Structure 1
Amino acid sequence: MIRHSEALAAVIRSSHEVITRADLWHGGRLVRARIPLVEGKVTLSSTEDIRGRLTATIVDPTGDLVPIGAGGLSPYGSQLHVWRGARIPGARSELVSLGWYRIQETKVIESYRQNRAGVWVSGGARIEVEGLDRMSAVQDSRFLAPGKPKRGATCVGELRRLCRGLIPLSTWAVDDEPVPKSLVYEESRLEAVQTLASALDAAAYAGPDGTMIVRELAAGKSSVHTFTGSASGGLLGCAFVTSRDGVYNAVVARGEASDKKAPRQATAYDVTPGAPTRWDGPFGRVPTFYVSKVIKTKAQAEKTARSRMDSLIRGRDREIAITAVPVPWLEPGDVVTVRTPRLEFSGRLLTVDMPLSAAGGAATYTVRALESGITTLDPSEPIEETYRAA
């Protein structure tokens, strides 16, 4: 969750004036501040190596931002720092950073006119911009030759070494580990970075302040925001897919066969009362199988089957897309609570689609929630709302 004030959180809950802007940078220098954004969106996804993407339209009345060479909104080293916020009554507006984006491509429609001296000059331009967050610099900087980490290197040390000079580095609160012995750097620097982060059970990504963040995957377990269908709860719609794929209601665990005797085997069933996927219910009988040479006895087989069946039941999840009032401080990885007239659940954000103008309408969020944590509600119950600022 991105830091913000209680005042901004209160304003977002009701009708408010949306403010967005972008600052143009090139070579570490601010070229133009407070560029208004006509339309577009920022898309953040925790399932992508480069998790931030920008599409934006800018109307330039003077034509100064037309990319000529390395100038203007050029894809040759220019970056946009994008903001969204609101005007707070009785105070200055407050903006939240949505990230730094290297310009990948610009499309220009420019008009021309004659000035009073009869000289042809720009009559203004409409410029469409596409950008990727700063991890794209790590992606572009491929290794010139294969290599290996130095002996005794650690994952954190290698992450800092591989990314130094490509993206600003923040302070990381993760437990360091030795580099995996089998690790070899081939061509992709970004793949190497993600492999090192995975060894720490963490994710590496460009944060809203433009620095590279390494964050443990299990970090942040408490809900930071609640969406409800009330007037100030911001929830507008909910969509999800329910599928039989990957759903089992029995686990058969067995050892490996030997020349002298048959393998030990045991079966555990999903017999949860009232569960729609229970064994011998309308869902049917759908077993899965697990074979391990570690299983030597009937007791070991029974324990393994029960353990894996329990894990399957607890681990069933559902990806739910919600449309809601844009909340600019939410990021992938944050835990949110959603309450509809039918369901209540908490889950971790996978994606955020944040519009860059009021005309862009609602934001879209994808939440991964465990089936075991989805509660069916009585529509007559009152709705409670909770909000928290950083």
Structure 2
Amino acid sequence: MWPVSRRWDPALRHAHRMTARATILPPVGAPFTARLLSWSVTADRTAQTRRTLQATLAPGTRQALDGVTVQGGYLQLDVGFDYLDGSQELVPQGLFRLDSEDAERPDGGLAAQGYGREKVVADDKFLAPRTEPANSSALDLIETLLTESVPTATVHRRTTRDAAVPRTTWERERWEAIDGTDASLARSIGVEVWADGRGQFVITAVPTLADPPVWTVDEGPGGVLIKASRSSSTEGVNNIIVAVGDGANGSTPVGPLIVRDTDPTSPTRVDGPFGRRPRFYSSPLLTTLAQADTAARSLLANSLGLASGLSFSAVPNPALEPGDVVLVKTGGPAELHIIDKITLSSTGAMTCETRSTKADDGGTT
């Protein structure tokens, strides 16, 4: 959750007015503020590019290289509250590279679509196979691959998880080397890489329900919940992870290292009615049993929570971030949920998709 003042939550639950600001950062000339007619942002931690933007800017907004352009132009969106006393508090929602613009005539406004900085990195593919020498730090390599594509970017390491990387070659896809595939650096050490609301890159551990809740979603007077619906699905759910360092790059094979859901209260426990549903994870970057164990536990925690989900709409809270844990009170016992996806717009309630099945640290053999 983005840091906010003590005024934030009381105002959210009682008296405030939503407000938003669009700052255009053109490739030529100085940044300027553009008037927004409408906007919508989706932030999804399960997507390669976490943040996407749809915005309509006022007619007459400057275009071309010194204005709104798809030739290297960006839009910074900040959203927050007008406290009705002349003061405001805004939270960054994303630094978006503009990939499309469409001016409607006459006086229909300027429609723009943008994507977070992960897409900048993903588009910057390797021109030739990329080989890194043995014993490089995984975190150092992630930062190098990011800043090669975005030299001005800041990278925040919010984790101490790291490991030495064996000699490794990636063929074409830069983002796949960083995160999102079994052969990625991030997955090998159990972390996630994403761009925050200011376009700065962040490296964090995979969120779990052991993380403290940052917000309460509740009903009744002063509550924020509008509507909630539950769903259950076994798609993508695995209660056993088998991790192997395959030695494809010449290193000594590692494993198999097996992590199971052994929580006696878990509906997906391996000795329960859910049965056994293994996932096999193989990566040339796993060089020790300890590293395989960390990666397998992160995959297990990320998988089990998909079994039970809660989708809800609520009073918009622009400070929330995918991966945040929230405490949900809907009349029964309070429940912890990890937010996977948030949609925020100028026209209605905030919608969130979550998962809630509790996973322990697993049992290892």
Q: Same fold (TM over 0.5)?
A: yes
Query: In the TM superposition, what are the counterparts of 1:307-322 in structure 2 within 5 Å?
Result: 315=304, 317-322=307-312
Offset at 1:134? 1.2
1:113-145 deviations in whole A, cap 9, x for unaligned? xxxxxxxxxxx4511111001111101111000
Does residue 128 (structure 1) correspond to residue 111 (structure 2)? The answer is yes
Q: Distance in 2 between matches of 1:270 and 1:95?
A: 41
**Contact 2:117–2:195 under 8 Å retained in 1:** yes
Q: Residue 325 of structure 2 aligns with which residue?
A: 335
Q: Sequence identity, in percent? A: 23
Gaps of 5+ in 2: 241-261, 279-299, 361-365
1:191 pairs with one of 176, 186, 190 = 176
Which residue pairs with 1:364 in the alignment? Answer: 351
Question: For 2:142, what is the secondary structure of its paired residue?
Answer: helix
Match of 2:8 in 1: 8
Choose 1 or 2 for highest CA Rg.
1
Cα pair 1:145 1:187 within 8 Å, conserved: yes
Local SS of the residue matching 1:148: strand
Paired residue for 2:70?
75
Q: Per-residue CA shift, 1:167-191, capped at 9, x if unaligned?
A: 3123313225344426321111111
Of residues 150, 160, 169 in structure 1, which corresponds to 2:154?
169
How many angstroms apart in 2 are the aligned matches of 1:180 and 1:242?
A: 38
Whole-Å separation in 2 of the counterparts to 1:88 and 1:246: 43
Corresponding letter in the other structure for 2:21 = R
Partner of 2:331, secondary structure, is: coil
1:164 alignment partner, SS class: helix
TM-aligned CA distance change 1:146 to 1:323, over 3 Å: same
Residue 152 of structure 1 corresponds to 135
Give the aligned partner of residue 254 of structure 1. Answer: none
C-alpha displacement of 1:166: 2.9
Task: Give the residue type in structure 2 aligned to 1:39.
Answer: S
SS at the partner of 1:39? strand
- Secondary structure of the 2:149 match is coil
CA distance in 2, matches of 1:289, 1:36: 52
SS in 1 for 2:321: coil
Equivalent residue runs for 1:130-279 within 5 Å: 130-167=113-150, 168-175=153-160, 177-181=162-166, 183-194=168-179, 195-218=184-207, 221-243=211-233
CA contact (8 A) 1:318 1:368 kept: yes
8 Å Cα contact 2:233-2:308 kept in structure 1: no
The SS at the match of 1:95 is strand
Q: Are residues 13 and 196 of structure 1, via their aligned partners in 2, closer, same or farther at CA, if it must alter by over 3 Å?
A: same
SS at match of 1:223: coil
Q: How many residues align?
A: 308
Q: Secondary structure at the match of 2:158?
A: coil
Provide closer, same or farther for how the CA distance between residues 180 and 71 of structure 1 changes in structure 2, counting only shifts above 3 A. Answer: same
Structure-2 separation of matches of 1:108 and 1:17: 29
User: Does residue 56 in structure 1 map to residue 55 in structure 2?
Assistant: yes
Report the 3-state secondary structure (helix = DSSP H, G, I; strand = E; otherwise coil) of the residue aligned with 1:198. Answer: helix
Question: Which one of the candidate residues 97, 103, 106 is aligned to 2:98?
Answer: 103
Where do 1:294-305 residues align within 5 Å? none
CA–CA distance in structure 1, aligned partners of residues 148 and 317 of structure 2: 32
Aligned partners of 1:315, 1:248: CA distance in 2, in Å?
6
Give the AA of the match of 1:14.
H
What letter matches 2:308 in structure 1?
R
Q: 1:36 offset after TM fit, Å?
A: 2.6
Contact 1:177-1:199 within 8 A present in 2 as well: no
Match of 2:249 in 1: none
Q: Deviations over 1:303-359 (max 9, x none)?
A: xxxxxxxx99x946412111001000000011101111245311111011011x2xx
State the shift of 1:44 in Å.
Answer: 0.5
Distance 1:58 1:159 in 2: 36
Q: Are the equivalent residues in 1 in contact too, given 2:76–2:92 (CA < 8 A)?
A: yes
| Partner secondary structure for residue 129 of structure 1 | strand
Residues 237 and 304 in structure 2, CA contact (< 8 A), matched pair in contact too: no
Change (3 A) 1:286 1:57: closer
- TM (normalized to structure 1)? 0.70
Instruction: Evaluate the alpha carbon distance shift between residue 126 and residue 245 of structure 1 in structure 2; reply closer, same or farther with a 3 A threshold.
Output: closer
2:27 and 2:66 in contact (8 A); partners too = no
Match of 2:18 in 1: 18
Distance in 2, matches of 1:226 and 1:12, equals: 12
Change in 2 beyond 3 A, CA 1:248/1:100: closer
Task: Specify the code of the residue in structure 1 equivalent to 2:98.
Answer: I
- Is 1:37 matched with 2:36? yes
Residue 179 of structure 1 contacts residue 196 of structure 1 at CA under 8 Å; is this kept in 2? no
Give the CA deviation at 1:110: 2.8
Cα 1:30–1:369 shift into 2, 3 Å: farther
2:284 aligns with none
Equivalent AA in structure 2 for residue 186 of structure 1: E
- Amino acid in the other structure paired with 1:213: V
Cross-structure match for 1:297:
none
